[in-house]
Chain A
Amino acid sequence: MPADWDIWAVSDWVTKPGEWRNEVMEEGPEELSTGSRKRERKKRRQARETGFKCSALLCSEPRPRCCRWYHIVAMVVYAVLILNKAGGLIFQRDFNPGLQKLTSNDYLILAGTFHGVHAITSQISPTNETGASGLEVLESENFVMRCFQTLTGTKFLVFAEPRQPNLDVVVRRVYELYSDYVMKNPFYQIEMPIRSEGFERHLSAYIKPHQ
C-alpha cells in the first residue's frame, strides 16, 4: 500500500467539497443527481475503508484499484505540444505557471529535435518488427513525457509529473479534442499552427480542473 499512499493523499486533497464536482462531471454522466452524487461519495468512502477496489462503473482497467480516481484525481500535466508530420510545432501550451519559459524559437528547435530523435528511434529498433513506433515515453527526475503518434504522422506530446499514471488516456483524449475542434474546423489549414479558441478552451477544461 505505501506505494499508492501518496495518490490517496492527493485524492483527499482534491475531494474537498467544491472541487470534487468537476471531477465527476468530467468522466461520469453529466446530469448526476444529488442522490447519485451521494452514492458516489459513499462508494468512495467504502473503498477507502476496504482498500483498493474499483467502484467506477466505466472502469475498463484490469487492475483491481479504481483507475478512475487514479487517473483523474491525481493528474498533473505540465504542457501539451502538437507536432505536424513534418516535425513543425503547431501547438504549444503550458498548464503550470511554474514552468521554465522558453522562447518560441526554442520550442521550435525542441520540436524539430524531437521529431528527428523519434524518426531515428523508429529506424534503429532492435526488434525486427515492421512499423516500429519509435520513442513513446521519456522519463527524467522532474517530468515524464509521453508521445503519441497518430497513423497520419501527427505527434502529441504530453509533459507531466513523474510517475503520473494513465498518460496514454490523457494523450488520446487530447487527440480526440484535436480531431473535433481543430480538424473539423473548415477554416483550419492542415499542417499549419493551431489558433483555435475552441480547442484551447476544451483542452484547459479537460486538464485544468485536475491540476
Chain B
Amino acid sequence: MSSTSRARLGEEVWKTRTDKINAELVTLTYGSVVAQLCKDLDGDYAEVNKQLDKMGYNIGLRLIEDFLAKSNMQQKCANFRDTADVISKVGFKMFLNITPTIANWSSDSKQFSLMFDENPLADFVELPDDGKAQAELWYSNMLCGVIRGALEMVQMQVDAHFVNDVLRGHDTTEMRISLVRYIDDEMPADDE
C-alpha cells in the first residue's frame, strides 16, 4: 500500500467511519486528568509522566483493535518505515484528525520522530509556573503510552517519549519512537 493511498484511507475512515465528539470536551477531559494527577501526586512530574504513559498504554492495547477493525488493515507492515507511515497517516488521522510529520530517521531505520504541527490535546494549555513543570512534565505523554501499547499488540516492542514540546517553549512538539524488537509470541517457548 503506497503512502498516498494510506493518506486516503485515513481520510476516508475519519470521514465515514468515525463517531465525532466535541473537541473541547476531549481537550478539557484530558486536561483535567493531567491537572488532577499533578495535584494528587504533589507536583512529582516524573511520576505524572509515568502514570500518563501507563494510562495511554492501557488505551493503546484496546484502541488497536478498533484501529484494525475500522481501517480494515489485513496486511502486516513490511518494515518499520511502513509502520511509521501507518501511525501518522491512518492512526493519528482517524483518532485525532491530525497527521504528524515523520522525520529524523536513524540510519538503521529503527528510530524516527513524529513532529506534531498541532496537538488537539494541548489546546489552551499553559504549564504551571512553578519552575518545575516546564522542565519535567510532558503534558501529552499519554500519546506515547498509546503508541507503545498499540504496537505491542501487533508484535512490536517500542520505546516512545517526547523530546520537545511547544508547551515547554520549544519550537516544535516532537515524539521519538524507537523499535526495541519484534515480539515473536505466536509460539510460547514452553509449548508442548
Contacts and interface: CB of A to CB of B under 8 A. Distances in A.
Answer yes or no: do A and B interact.
yes
Interface of A: 85-86, 119, 122, 131, 150-154, 172, 175-176, 178-180, 183-184, 190
A84 to B, nearest CB: 11
Nearest to B19: A180
Interface in B72-126: 72-74, 76
Contact of A151 (B61, B68, B185): B68
B188 A86 contact: yes
Interface residues of B, number: 20
A175 B186 contact: no
A131 B182 CA distance: 14
Contacts of A86: 188
Contacts of A150: 65, 68-69
Nearest to B62: A183
Nearest to B153: A152
B188 A190 contact: no
Contact of A119 (B61, B69, B187): B187
B188 A184 contact: no
A179 B19 CA distance: 14
Contacts of A180: 66, 69
13 contacts: A85-B185, A150-B68, A151-B68, A151-B76, A152-B64, A152-B65, A152-B153, A153-B153, A153-B185, A175-B68, A183-B62, A183-B65, A190-B62
B35 interface: no
A179 B185 contact: no
B186 A153 contact: yes
B152 to A, nearest CB: 9
B65 A154 contact: yes
